Chains A and B, each alone.
Chain A
Amino acid sequence: MSESREPKPSPGVCIPWEEKSKELPKISGDEGLVRKVWEDIDGLAYTYIWQCLLSF
């Protein structure tokens, strides 16, 4: 698949923080906060596609 990434995302993840963080400037504030919010919202997208598969 042309858009597959290495390493493949873990369960609960669509775009890993490690991949996203490379796109950002140096974070001067609380990086943990930025990471947590990214991962929480990214997890919603994961839930969406897997629930489409399983529940709908």
Chain B
Amino acid sequence: MANDMEQLYAARLKRYVTAMRNGKPDMIPIRPFVAEFTAKYAGYTCQEVTHDFEKAFAAARKCAADFDWDAVVGNMVYVWTGLTQAIGMKYYAVPGIDIPADIGFQYLEPPERKAFMKPDQYDQLIADPTGFLFNVWLPRVSADVSATGEATSYRNNLSFLKGGMAMLNYFNAFGRQNALLRSESGTVSAISGILKAPMDILADKLRGYIGLCLDLVERPEKVLAACEALMPHLTHVALSGADPEKNVPIGLWMHRGCVPFVSREHFERFYWPTLKPIIEEIWSRGHQVLFYAEGNWDAHLESFAELPDGAIVYHVDKGDIFDVHSVLGKKFCISGGIPNFLLSYGTEQEVRDYCRKLIDGVARDGGYIMDAGAIMQNDTKAENLRAMTEFAREYGVY
């Protein structure tokens, strides 16, 4: 590795980590979550970066090399549909197969009557979450996997073999990708490991949102017990993928646990009491968690403020970043907040003006990382992203 590239990497890592610890680095770090934008920029279709992860990796590296960014995710088009198709997963609409080739992949939530977990199956999940996933959930979400008691099949057997080998192939490739980001452009791999809240998992992949909302009223004790049963497993998975150097955070992808998807009472009874202990456990082991607060979680900022100082990085999507800063800014680093519609449909000057307002409002004392509110798809204008980057470098020097 060229010495100057290694020096650049070290400077960027120090800048990024200092900000995440709510400190004041030499300048505001830039860590854009660029997903299908990378395809458009690098000349690929959404199908190419979704179905061929080597193209997704190449697109991410091209963006990292061409833009002056401190950290990126090795592949923010996070679902490799080559794997999901190989194991017969039903819940994705795949670009180029189910939807046009230049539309980003879609998650297809089944109607309540076809939920992947039935309302009378809570006890099974609570008794043995891992067994439930293998024996009940996987046969429902895969067209190829046979349910327990059914005749096995060639497709069933192949699903496990192909799925296991493909997943190892994919995850192992991230090690090489991260090394190439470092050696080619001095770019830091932004996160390591994955976490989701127990209640979000119930809503996303098991009962569905409608089903969960019914259950919160009709069988609340079962919902709470299921969340509690998931907690140790989600903690284990998060820690098993965490950065051994304890530099970069574990990503927490927050979906529908907030007002108005659920009531404040439901957040306080189910969502937060089964997420907060996970965050505290992870922090006790020295790892930060990036709260990717997709949507608007402003109704719950006081709850998040209960966490130990520095335990999280709080990413703002549609929330009011100035309110967030006033409530959480003394405790945690904040990231994001540049509206995606501005990056897609605004002018370069409008982007610069908003960046100035944001930096003045939340970043004067450090503890801020520049990014859009949500992951950037292929409607993001390259010239606007470049304007955001260049302005942050000009105006974001401490």
Contacts and interface: CB of A to CB of B under 8 A. Distances in A.
Given A1-B124, A44-B164, A11 B232 contact: yes
Contacts of B131: 1, 3-5, 8-9
Nearest to B229: A8
14 contacts: A1-B132, A4-B124, A5-B128, A8-B129, A13-B130, A44-B168, A46-B130, A47-B237, A48-B164, A50-B237, A51-B167, A52-B87, A52-B133, A53-B205
Given A54-B196, A56-B79, A49 B89 contact: no
A2 interface: yes
Nearest to B233: A11
Interface residues of A, number: 25
B138 A49 contact: yes
Interface in B47-98: 78-80, 83-84, 87, 89
A1 B127 contact: yes
B148 interface: yes
Given A1-B135, A1-B136, A53-B205, A9 B240 contact: no
A56 B83 contact: yes
B135 A11 contact: no
Interface string A19-43: 0000000000000000000000000
Interface string B150-170: 000000000000011001100
A56 B163 CA distance: 11
Interface residues of B, number: 38
**Which among B78, B128, B135, B136 has the greatest number of chain A C-beta atoms within 10 A?**
B128
A55 B78 contact: yes
A19 to B, nearest CB: 12
A53 B124 contact: no
Nearest to A46: B130
A-B pairs, 9 with minimum CB distance: A11-B236, A1-B124, A4-B128, A8-B128, A49-B133, A11-B232, A4-B127, A11-B233, A50-B237
B164 A9 contact: no
A8 B354 CA distance: 53
B363 to A, nearest CB: 31
A54 B371 CA distance: 24
A53 B83 contact: no
Contacts of A44: 164, 168
Nearest to B137: A53
Contacts of A54: 194-196, 201, 234, 237
